[in-house]
Amino acid sequence: MKTYILPSLLILLGTGASDLAQAMDGPASLDDKAKIFVGVQTLVASEHLGSAEDDISILPYLSVDDYKGVDIFGPSISYRAIETGTGVGLGKWSLRAGPIATYQTGRNSGDSATLTGLDDIDGSLLLGGYARATFGPVGLRLDVGQDVIGGHDGLIANASIGTLLPLGKLNIQPSATVSWGSESFNQTFFGITPEQAAASGLDINDTGSGIYSYSLSAVSWLELTDKYTISLIGSHSWFTEEAKNSPIILAEDGSDTGFFVSVGFSRKFTL
């Protein structure tokens, strides 16, 4: 286990990107006022995709809810190019869609003895779009993004279903997600080329495009006062199909599940 204190907002947006990007929405989505949450958070997450080891990080926390159509949550920044409907709640519907950019961390060969001899994977910037629809208490969301900076050069799509449970000052937003990766993405994180097999001693593993994980996630926040909030974000993933047979996951320090937990304390600014 490692502990980091990282002041960089860019690293904040990158840490746990594959988990946070699956969340339906961030805090403060219950009314029409634009809000910004600024604070600090502690994160516990898998060392890398397919790792049984974990990291602890202490990072700044930033969440923006509808500032002139812009939302920032976790690793993603999006713009509400389309927003229509009758509202959110029983008997109502809504549709929101627009462009989205998500930063995803890569992987260092020094993160694990299993990765020795494998290439480092640089961070990726996923550019694409999202659509979120609500029908009564049910929310559906689709995010699609293509890496444009050469981290894995792949395409990722996340499809989620969830709901919002308002319990007074406590709000809980659970969701379930299916994650699909292109051949380039899956091969980069779960495949082993002949050259990498010779250098690492791992078996050759060719992967194709397909579903690589299923996840259950929850975003919750407790309003301590009108200005101060405690948030808890959690996600647990199960690797499948194109991922779970990877030698990286089957290694002694590998795992066919992944997790992400974040506890944050923030101050709310209403715009």
**Confidence at residue 88, expressed as pLDDT on a 0 to 100 scale:** 83
Which of the 8 DSSP states describes residue 183?
H
For 2-270, CATH number? 2.40.230
Confidence at residue 171, expressed as pLDDT on a 0 to 100 scale = 95
Instruction: State how far the Cα of 262 lies from the Cα of 264, in Å rounded to an integer.
Output: 6
pTM: 0.87
User: How many Cα atoms are found within 13 Å in the side-chain-facing hemisphere of 84?
Assistant: 4
CA distances from 108 to 38, 44, 123, 185, 186 (A): 30, 18, 10, 16, 16
pLDDT of residue 242: 77
Per-residue b/e over 52-77, b at no fewer than 16 CB within 10 Å?
A: bebbebebbbbbbbbeeeebbbbbbb
Residues 6+ apart with CB under 8 A from 169: 222, 223, 224
Mean pLDDT in order along the chain per 10 residues (271 residues):
36 38 46 85 92 92 92 92 92 96 93 92 97 96 97 97 94 96 96 95 95 95 94 94 90 94 94 79
Max CA distance (Å), the chain: 60
How many CA atoms, within 13 angstroms, populate the side-chain half-sphere of residue 64?
Answer: 15
The pairing of strands 2-5 and 54-67 is parallel
Q: Structure tokens of 9?
A: 């907002």
pLDDT of residue 25: 54
What's the pLDDT at 9?
36
Q: Which sequence spans correspond to the domains of the chain? A: 2-270
- 3-state DSSP assignment of residue 185: helix
